[in-house]
Chain A
Amino acid sequence: MSSMNPSIKRRDFLKQGALAGFGALLGNSIVGASYAASRERLTFLAAVGLDTLHPYAISASPHYGIWQHMIEPLIEINYAKKEYYGVLAESWEFQDKKWMFKLRKNVRFHDGSPFTSKDVIHSVNRIKTDKQSLQAENFRDLTEMQAPDDYTVIFTTEVPNAVFLDRLYNRYMVSKAAADKYGDQVDQHPIGTGPYKFVSWQRGANLVLTRNDDYWNGKTAIKEIVIKTVKEDSGRVSDLMAGQGDVINNVPVEELSRFDKHPRIRPEKVEGLRMHFLAMNVTHKPFDNKLVRQAFNYAVDPAQIIKYIYEGNGYVMNGPMSANVIGFDPKIKRYPYDPKKAKELLGKAGFNDGLEVKLYFSPDRYPKAREVCQVVADQLAKAGVKAELIAQEFVIFWGKEGVNGGKTPFYYVGRPAIDADTVYDQYYRSGVSPRIQYKNPEFDKLIDEEQKTGDPKKRIALLQQAGRILMEDVPFVPLYTLAENYGVARNVIWKPRPDEKILAAEMKIK
Chain B
Amino acid sequence: MNKLSRRIIGAIPVLLGISFLIFLLMHIAPGDPVSLLLGDDATPADIERTRHEWGLDRPLIVQYWDFLTRAVTGDFGKSLKFNEPVTKLVSERLPATLELAFAALCVAIMIAVPLGVYSAIRHNSLLDHAGMSVALIGVSLPNFWLGIMLIYFLGGQLNWLPVAGRIEYGIEVRSITGLYLLDSVLTGNYAAFWSALQHLLMPAFTLGSALAAIVTRISRSSVLEVMRQDYVTTARAKGLSESTVIWRHILRNALITIVTILGLQLGALLSGSVITETVFSFPGIGDLLIQSISARDYKLTQVLILMFAVTYFVVNLLVDLLYSWIDPRIRF
Q: Do A and B assemble together?
A: yes
How far is the CB of A30 from the nearest CB of chain B, in Å? 7
Q: Does B283 contact A204, Cβ atoms closer than 8 Å?
A: yes
Q: Does B44 contact A434, Cβ atoms closer than 8 Å?
A: yes
Query: Which of B33, B162, B281 is close to A31, meaning CB atoms less than 8 Å apart?
Result: B162
Within 8 A of B (CB), among A6-60: 13, 16-17, 20-21, 23-25, 27-28, 30-32, 34, 45, 51-52, 54, 57, 59-60
Within 8 A of B (CB), among A115-143: 131-132, 134, 136-138, 140
* Contacts known (A59-B39, A137-B43, A433-B43); A404 close to B164, Cβ less than 8 A: no
Chain B residues lying within 8 Å of A399, measured Cβ to Cβ, are 30-32, 35-36
> Which of A227-235, A289-297, A347-355 contacts the other chain?
A227-235
How far is the CB of B118 from the nearest CB of chain A, in Å? 23
A203 within 8 A of B: yes
Within 8 A of A (CB), among B83-98: 83-84, 89, 92-93
Distance A21 CA – B163 CA, assembled complex (angstroms): 17
Chain A residues lying within 8 Å of B30, measured Cβ to Cβ, are 396, 399, 401
* Contacts known (A31-B198, A138-B41, A404-B47); A20 close to B36, Cβ less than 8 A: no
Distance A91 CA – B265 CA, assembled complex (angstroms): 64
Within 8 A of A (CB), among B213-257: none
Q: Does B83 contact A54, Cβ atoms closer than 8 Å?
A: yes
Q: Does A395 contact B44, Cβ atoms closer than 8 Å?
A: no
* Contacts known (A134-B37, A364-B294, A400-B47); A230 close to B83, Cβ less than 8 A: no
Chain B residues lying within 8 Å of A138, measured Cβ to Cβ, are 41
B170 within 8 A of A: yes
Query: Which of A136, A232, A242, A402 is close to B279, meaning CB atoms less than 8 Å apart?
Result: A232
A208 within 8 A of B: yes
Q: Does A205 contact B160, Cβ atoms closer than 8 Å?
A: no
* Contacts known (A229-B164, A239-B155); A415 close to B40, Cβ less than 8 A: yes
Q: Does B42 contact A238, Cβ atoms closer than 8 Å?
A: no
Within 8 A of B (CB), among A404-462: 404, 415-416, 422, 426, 432-434
How far is the CB of A6 from the nearest CB of chain B, in Å? 15
Chain B residue with Cβ nearest A57: B83
A322 within 8 A of B: no
Query: Which of A204, A229, A393 is close to B294, meaning CB atoms less than 8 Å apart?
Result: A393
How far is the CB of A59 from the nearest CB of chain B, in Å? 4
Distance A444 CA – B37 CA, assembled complex (angstroms): 28
Chain A residues lying within 8 Å of B39, measured Cβ to Cβ, are 59-60, 134
Q: Does B294 contact A394, Cβ atoms closer than 8 Å?
A: yes
Chain A residues lying within 8 Å of B278, measured Cβ to Cβ, are 231-232
Q: Does B163 contact A230, Cβ atoms closer than 8 Å?
A: yes
Chain A residue with Cβ nearest B159: A242
B22 within 8 A of A: no
Q: Does A204 contact B194, Cβ atoms closer than 8 Å?
A: no
B193 within 8 A of A: yes
Distance A138 CA – B40 CA, assembled complex (angstroms): 12
Chain A residues lying within 8 Å of B36, measured Cβ to Cβ, are 394-395, 398-399
A202 within 8 A of B: yes
How far is the CB of B28 from the nearest CB of chain A, in Å? 12
Q: Does B82 contact A30, Cβ atoms closer than 8 Å?
A: no
* Contacts known (A137-B42, A433-B43); A234 close to B185, Cβ less than 8 A: no
Give per-residue flags for B151-171: 1 if the beta carbon is below 8 A from chain A beta carbons, else 0: 110011111111111111110
Distance A28 CA – B43 CA, assembled complex (angstroms): 52
Distance A60 CA – B40 CA, assembled complex (angstroms): 9
Q: Does A395 contact B33, Cβ atoms closer than 8 Å?
A: yes
* Contacts known (A31-B160, A51-B81, A399-B36); A205 close to B165, Cβ less than 8 A: yes
A68 within 8 A of B: no
B128 within 8 A of A: no
A317 within 8 A of B: no
How far is the CB of B279 from the nearest CB of chain A, in Å? 5
* Contacts known (A20-B193, A134-B38, A433-B43); A398 close to B170, Cβ less than 8 A: no
Q: Does A398 contact B35, Cβ atoms closer than 8 Å?
A: yes
Chain B residues lying within 8 Å of A60, measured Cβ to Cβ, are 39
**How many residues in B have their beta carbons less than 8 Å from beta carbons of A?**
60
A241 within 8 A of B: yes
Distance A140 CA – B44 CA, assembled complex (angstroms): 13
Give per-residue flags for A187-209: 1 if the beta carbon is below 8 A from chain B beta carbons, else 0: 00000000000001011111010
How far is the CB of A37 from the nearest CB of chain B, in Å? 14
Distance A137 CA – B44 CA, assembled complex (angstroms): 11
Q: Does B198 contact A30, Cβ atoms closer than 8 Å?
A: yes
Q: Does B148 contact A232, Cβ atoms closer than 8 Å?
A: yes
Within 8 A of B (CB), among A55-99: 57, 59-60
Q: Does B198 contact A24, Cβ atoms closer than 8 Å?
A: yes
B296 within 8 A of A: yes
Within 8 A of A (CB), among B53-100: 53, 81-84, 89, 92-93
Give per-residue flags for B112-129: 1 if the beta carbon is below 8 A from chain A beta carbons, else 0: 000000000000000000
How far is the CB of A340 from the nearest CB of chain B, in Å? 36
How far is the CB of B170 from the nearest CB of chain A, in Å? 7
Distance A404 CA – B295 CA, assembled complex (angstroms): 16
How far is the CB of A504 from the nearest CB of chain B, in Å? 15
Chain A residues lying within 8 Å of B287, measured Cβ to Cβ, are 204, 231
Chain A residues lying within 8 Å of B281, measured Cβ to Cβ, are 204-205, 229-232, 235
B46 within 8 A of A: yes
B201 within 8 A of A: yes
Q: Does A132 contact B83, Cβ atoms closer than 8 Å?
A: yes
How far is the CB of B60 from the nearest CB of chain A, in Å? 16
A387 within 8 A of B: no
Chain B residues lying within 8 Å of A17, measured Cβ to Cβ, are 185, 193
B111 within 8 A of A: no
Q: Does A241 contact B156, Cβ atoms closer than 8 Å?
A: yes
Chain A residues lying within 8 Å of B169, measured Cβ to Cβ, are 200, 205-206, 208, 226, 228
Q: Does A137 contact B35, Cβ atoms closer than 8 Å?
A: no
B325 within 8 A of A: no
Chain B residue with Cβ nearest A432: B43
B197 within 8 A of A: yes
Q: Does B163 contact A400, Cβ atoms closer than 8 Å?
A: no
A244 within 8 A of B: yes
* Contacts known (A205-B165, A206-B169); A28 close to B151, Cβ less than 8 A: no
B280 within 8 A of A: yes
Chain B residues lying within 8 Å of A234, measured Cβ to Cβ, are 148, 151-152, 156
A114 within 8 A of B: no
Chain A residues lying within 8 Å of B162, measured Cβ to Cβ, are 27, 31, 239, 244
A243 within 8 A of B: yes
Chain A residue with Cβ nearest B152: A238
15 more A-B residue pairs beyond the given contacts A31-B162, A396-B30, with a C-beta to C-beta distance below 8 A: A27-B160, A27-B161, A31-B198, A51-B82, A205-B169, A229-B281, A230-B164, A232-B280, A235-B151, A238-B151, A238-B152, A238-B157, A395-B32, A395-B295, A426-B41
Can you spell out 10 A-B residue pairs with CB atoms less than 8 angstroms apart?
A20-B190, A24-B194, A140-B46, A202-B283, A232-B148, A232-B164, A242-B155, A400-B32, A400-B47, A401-B32
